[in-house]
Amino acid sequence: MKENCCAFTGHRQLGYDFDRNLLTRVVEGLIKRGIDTFYCGMAKGFDLAAAEIVLGYKASCGVKLIACIPYEGQAEYFSFSDKERYENILNYCDEKVIFSKNYNRWCMHARDRYMAENSSVVVCYLRKKSGGTFYTVEYAKSLGLKIIEI
Model pLDDT for residues 38-74, shown as the tens digit of each residue: 999 999 999 999 999 999 999 999 999 999 999 999 9
User: Sign (positive/negative) of CA torsion 108, 101, 14, 46?
Assistant: positive
pTM (two decimals): 0.96
Architecture of domain 5-149: 3-Layer(aba) Sandwich (3.40)
CB under 8 Å to 147, separation ≥6 — which residues? Answer: 121, 122, 124, 137, 140, 141
Residue 132, amino acid: G
- How far apart, in whole angstroms, are the C-alpha atoms of residue 44 and residue 48? 6
Vertex 48: Cα angle to 143 and 123 (nearest 5): 30
Q: What pLDDT is stored for residue 1 in this prediction?
A: 64
Q: What pLDDT is stored for residue 2 in this prediction?
A: 87
Vertex 65: Cα angle to 62 and 68 (nearest 5): 165
- Ranges under pLDDT 70 in the chain: 1
CA atoms within 13 A on the CB side of 88: 13
